[in-house]
Amino acid sequence: MSLKKKIIVGVAVYLALLLALFVFVHGFPIRLRGDDQAYMAWLRNPNPQTKLLLREQARKHEIILLKGSATAALAFWVCGSTCYVVILRLRRLPEQPHRQTLTRIASK
């Protein structure tokens, strides 16, 4: 397989995994017991205290989702930079051998 085909296949696989992870993460919502309890308390007795408890639980839920998004972003960054480095190394292998020849310095 030629280098261009390897690069195209690698990028396509990376984008497919990115799409699959996006669909998986955002397709299945996280249900927390505290959210449900706060909502039921507010539904039974809508007053400022239960509304405040509901907002607090919603904020905790948002922080959990933000941590998950940050972890996923870090994973994507690591995978993307790894793919970039691998592609660079694949491009350099035939052109630049690791062994260098010594040249003599001619004295005047």
pLDDT above 90 for 56: yes
Higher pLDDT, 57 or 32: 57
Residues 6 or more apart from 14 whose CB is under 8 A from it?
A: 79, 80, 83
In a domain, 42, yes or no: yes
Predicted confidence at residue 31, as pLDDT, reads 72
Q: Which domain, by its residues, includes 88?
A: 3-95
- Asked whether the beta carbons of 87 and 14 are under 8 A apart, the reply is no
Alpha-carbon gap, residue 32 to 60, rounded angstroms = 10
Calculate the CA 94 to chain-centre distance.
32
In a domain, 55, yes or no: yes
pLDDT above 60 for 15: yes
In a domain, 107, yes or no: no
pLDDT above 90 for 52: yes
Predicted confidence at residue 44, as pLDDT, reads 93
The count of domains in the chain is 1
Alpha-carbon gap, residue 36 to 105, rounded angstroms = 79
Predicted confidence at residue 96, as pLDDT, reads 52
In a domain, 105, yes or no: no
Whether pTM > 0.75 for this model: the answer is no
- Asked whether the beta carbons of 86 and 6 are under 8 A apart, the reply is no
In a domain, 108, yes or no: no
In a domain, 101, yes or no: no
